[in-house]
A and B are shown apart, each in its own frame.
Chain A
Amino acid sequence: MGGGNLTIVIKPKREFEVCVEAEIVPGKTDFKVYLGKEVVPIEELFYVENIDDGEDRILLQGDFSRVKWIGKSMKGGEIIVEGNAGMHLGSFMEGGRIIVKGNADDWIGGMMKGGEIIVEGNAGNRIGCNYWGESKGMEGGKIIVKGNAGNYVGEKMCGGEIIIEGDAGDFIGTEMKDGRIVIKGKAGYTGWDMKGGEILVGDCELSPSFVKEGEVFKGDVNVKGNGSVKILKIN
């Protein structure tokens, strides 16, 4: 667990020359802040305020759309991003909760194992996916996007749940092994090379490798898969 008992409020001081990388997690204050090739003291870029309120929480105020790796590998506590969040939000996360009030950039919850990510706006590409060449995507936890999502949702997903309340792009649940993806709106190509797990989608273009079995489509036949896709519009 994070183990802290205060709320840390972080606010950008100025516009950054290049994107910032900072593995901000609750209960930790000694994380490194990278500005390109330089490691800089956090105070150089941000105002930091500690509020002793018994919470285990980080409050990110202002624009964090150019701050990457927020909540990387976090194990507990809470991060609230009041504006937009940058890439790799909650990657490798194991527990706790991240709430983004604005939009999130690509790669949220990459290879996450537990915890919860809620994006109230839109999210970018590659939600809950595996990193390049790795064999497992998201393994557990929950991601909720209240707006729309980009391409590639839940690739090689092995567990957990992803809910997109708006629309999503192409390639939903590619090579998915287990877990559940719900897309309330419509999506592009869905289910390709699915080995297992479950996808519920408002409408989509199903990969031409599924066979209808009662209410659902089963496949992918090309990998002798046992995944199921339920298209709400049809049923």
Chain B
Amino acid sequence: MTSILIKNGIVVDPEQNINGEKMDIYIKDGKIVDECKADKVIDANGMTVVAGGIDIHAHIAGPKVNAGRAMRPEDMKHVRMKSGKFRCAMGGVLLTCPSIGYEYARMGYTTAIEPATPTLYAIHTHEELDSIPIIDKAALPLFGNWHLTFKFAAEKDVEKMKSFVAWAIERAKGYGIKVVNPGGVEAWMYGKNVHSLNECIPGFEATPAEVLTTLMKASIELNLPHKVHVHCNNLGVPGSAETTAETIELAKKIGEYCLHITHIQFNSYTGDTWKNMGSGAEELAKLINDNPVTVDMGQVIFGHTTTMTADGPFEFALFKLAKSKWINKDVEIETGGGIVPITYRAKSAVNAVQWATGLEFGLLVDPDKIVISTDFPNGGPFTSYPYIITLLMSKKFREKEIEEKGVNNYIEKATSLLSIETERTFYDIVKMTRTTPARILGLKNKGNLKVGADADVAIYPFNCNDMPDYERILKALENPAYTIKDGEIVVKDGEIVSENWGKTFWVKAKEQSEVIEEELESVFKYYTVSRGNYGVREEWIRRAEAIRV
């Protein structure tokens, strides 16, 4: 491994309260070090040096993602890079594994979290994660519709829930607790959905609220680095803002931080029909700022994409609306999922409100509490992060986009976007793409440039103390001068120059499966996979790294 000196760069690292100071950074053996003899010197004069970006929520691996690819050859046929020194990279919005690694690195991102994996399919998810070059990654197993989750929630048995969570995360080699439409996917097995937090889940004495509360308590008591990561009930429909507010209320009752609400934009609509739908971002942003919760944006990008979520009933509703193709997958007694292609149109009032709502959150929520995301590929490609950042940093750019794309002027009535003057500073942006996701995920060696941190670094060709106009910001963010991963230069001037393999993080929580032995036995009596074959072994993963708690 080479050692590198990044000389005279302008450093931004909110974790250390460094905001645009000219500094030298040394890298040795994949870590940031105090000082060392450098084999290679990068002259970063006039350039901005930050930690590698972290995507907290992007569907990048697993059966659902792959089914989406297989269903959409018309999207996969786009060629990003021909085979040569590196792999060929294919895909338009959906991407192949090589493309995913290359495209993240080409934006200066070095870590991404796959946020929805059925434990039954975890082997598959890890196979794909293992095929993604360069970046570090982790997967969140799904808990929100597991029969055992319902059982322990109904019994309000936090002890058993803890054991179950620890057991399933270990089996999935996962990183935390993902909850998607708690109870709603089970209701979908009967052709229904749940519509409020206090409704009974079909066949169980539990409510979505109890599921969330018990899981949040378990996440605290297990001391998980990443707490409950939730896709709320009622996603994507007018009135969802209310459910989101109620969900925040649940977290507030617990009293300490234990809840990350993902792709908040999709869960923040007011009104009761598509005709009078509006943005609930203003009120929700206040609630988020005042309560112990964090969120990611779920920004919508105009154009076509493929939605994919574990939220089976939502995808069915979307299928009926969009009248396009539809994949559904019901997974034993643990979860489900669906995939539907859609197009977000600037001229559509509904899509315009979605677009504006995401930006409102990005401008109104405290940067210590919000992370930039598109819920890839649901809102659009993650390759639009430079575009989203630029929108957040420049009101002029927002105005130009509204004008040029012809964004439906219904947003004037239904959202507060046009009246927001805020322009995010680059320091805020670094928080929203590095510091904050690293903190939410409990990844201490990520998202900062402290001595001892992982040497994942992005160097952008602009001076953040003297910000250029939006066009140049966008261009610089899309073409980092360097991306360094694990101490190796992988990107130069926006192009891949070398390829390495990142780590897969997983959490080993204290497991006491004896407590739930009886329940597990009863499950495997009827499962179609034997208990001995359920889950993933560490040695099957290319570069697994356990985090013990």
Direct contact of A and B (CB under 8 A): yes
What does the 1/0 interface line of A102-133 toward B look like (CB < 8 Å)?
Answer: 00000000000000000000000000000111
Interface presence of A213 (CB below 8 A): no
> Shortest beta-carbon distance, A47 to chain B, in Å?
31
> In the complex, what distance in Å separates the CA atom of A133 from the CA atom of B72?
6
Residue of B71, B72, B74, B75 near A131 (CB, 8 A) is B74
Closest to A131 in B: B74
Interface presence of B73 (CB below 8 A): yes
Q: Which residues on the A side are within 8 Å of B75 (C-beta)?
A: 133
Number of residues from B at the complex interface, CB < 8 A: 5
> In the complex, what distance in Å separates the CA atom of A219 from the CA atom of B231?
41
> In the complex, what distance in Å separates the CA atom of A131 from the CA atom of B71?
13
Q: Which residues on the A side are within 8 Å of B73 (C-beta)?
A: 132-133
Q: Which residues on the A side are within 8 Å of B71 (C-beta)?
A: 133
Which residues in A have some Cβ–Cβ distance to B below 8 Å? Answer: 131-135
Which residues in B have some Cβ–Cβ distance to A below 8 Å? Answer: 71-75
> Shortest beta-carbon distance, B79 to chain A, in Å?
15
Give the A-B pair count, Cβ closer than 8 A: 10
Q: Which residues on the B side are within 8 Å of A132 (C-beta)?
A: 73-74
> Shortest beta-carbon distance, A188 to chain B, in Å?
25
> Shortest beta-carbon distance, A223 to chain B, in Å?
9
10 contacts between A and B (CB under 8 A): A131-B74, A132-B73, A132-B74, A133-B71, A133-B72, A133-B73, A133-B74, A133-B75, A134-B74, A135-B74
Known: A132-B74, A134-B74. 8 other contacts (CB 8 A): A131-B74, A132-B73, A133-B71, A133-B72, A133-B73, A133-B74, A133-B75, A135-B74
> In the complex, what distance in Å separates the CA atom of A80 from the CA atom of B72?
36
* Top 10 A-B residue pairs of the complex, sorted by shortest distance between their CB atoms: A133-B74, A133-B73, A132-B73, A134-B74, A133-B72, A132-B74, A131-B74, A133-B71, A133-B75, A135-B74
> Shortest beta-carbon distance, B91 to chain A, in Å?
13
> Shortest beta-carbon distance, B503 to chain A, in Å?
35
> Shortest beta-carbon distance, B372 to chain A, in Å?
30
Closest to B325 in A: A133
> In the complex, what distance in Å separates the CA atom of A135 from the CA atom of B74?
9
Q: Which residues on the A side are within 8 Å of B72 (C-beta)?
A: 133
> In the complex, what distance in Å separates the CA atom of A132 from the CA atom of B75?
10
> Shortest beta-carbon distance, A106 to chain B, in Å?
17
> Shortest beta-carbon distance, B67 to chain A, in Å?
13
Closest to B324 in A: A135
Residue from B72, B74, B75 with most neighbouring chain A CB atoms (10 Å) = B74
Closest to A133 in B: B74
Closest to A132 in B: B73
Closest to B76 in A: A133
> In the complex, what distance in Å separates the CA atom of A134 from the CA atom of B73?
8
> In the complex, what distance in Å separates the CA atom of A207 from the CA atom of B466?
68
> In the complex, what distance in Å separates the CA atom of A199 from the CA atom of B333?
48
> In the complex, what distance in Å separates the CA atom of A132 from the CA atom of B69?
13
Closest to A135 in B: B74
> Shortest beta-carbon distance, A128 to chain B, in Å?
18
> Shortest beta-carbon distance, B51 to chain A, in Å?
39
> In the complex, what distance in Å separates the CA atom of A135 from the CA atom of B73?
12
> In the complex, what distance in Å separates the CA atom of A134 from the CA atom of B75?
9
Q: Which residues on the B side are within 8 Å of A131 (C-beta)?
A: 74
> Shortest beta-carbon distance, B135 to chain A, in Å?
28
